[in-house]
Amino acid sequence: MGLLASAATVAIASSISFVFGLTLITQFIGASTLIQMEVPAEFRGRVLALYSLAFAGLTPFGSLGLGLIAVLIGIATTIVATAIVSGLVSLGILLRWRALWQAREKPLKKSLLRVKPSESLDGRQILSAF
């Protein structure tokens, strides 16, 4: 994203945006595939619905916020700030990756696995399973 902020011409910015778009589509496909492979069948629809809401439903609000920030501090500065924040979040995820996989490998409690798809769960029940 920092490259996009420093692009001198529209052609360069378009090329960088094209590569970013391909990368984003690849990430969406990979995340969706991972969700479908890892989530139990009885929860898959719910989890995919939340995933879709997070990426498709909340994107307009993020765009609105970034647009307001761009008006205040400028487009290039907003893109650089977004790149820095994204990089820090990615670094944090990479540093926590081992802990995330260790938490994933712990077996789920049997109580969560006995829940029927028609029953609703609250956050405490889900968190207590881990």
Identity of the residue numbered 88:
L
Residue 130 reports pLDDT greater than 50: no
pLDDT of residue 84: 92
How many structural domains is the chain composed of?
1
| Type and span of the H or E element at 24 | helix 10-38
- Express each pLDDT in 31-83 by its tens digit: 888 888 888 888 888 988 888 888 888 889 989 999 999 999 998 899 889 98
CB 7, CB 16: distance < 8 Å: yes
**Largest interatomic CA distance in the chain:** 58
- Domain encompassing residue 119: 2-128
Q: Which residues contact 67 (CB under 8 A, 6 or more apart)?
A: none
Residue 109 reports pLDDT greater than 90: no
CB 116, CB 42: distance < 8 Å: yes
Judged by DSSP in three states, 90 sits in helix
Judged by DSSP in three states, 68 sits in helix
Mean pLDDT, all residues of the chain? 78
CB half-sphere exposure, 40, CA atoms < 13 A: 9
Compute the distance between CA of residue 22 and CA of residue 25 in angstroms, rounded to an integer.
5
CB 78, CB 66: distance < 8 Å: yes
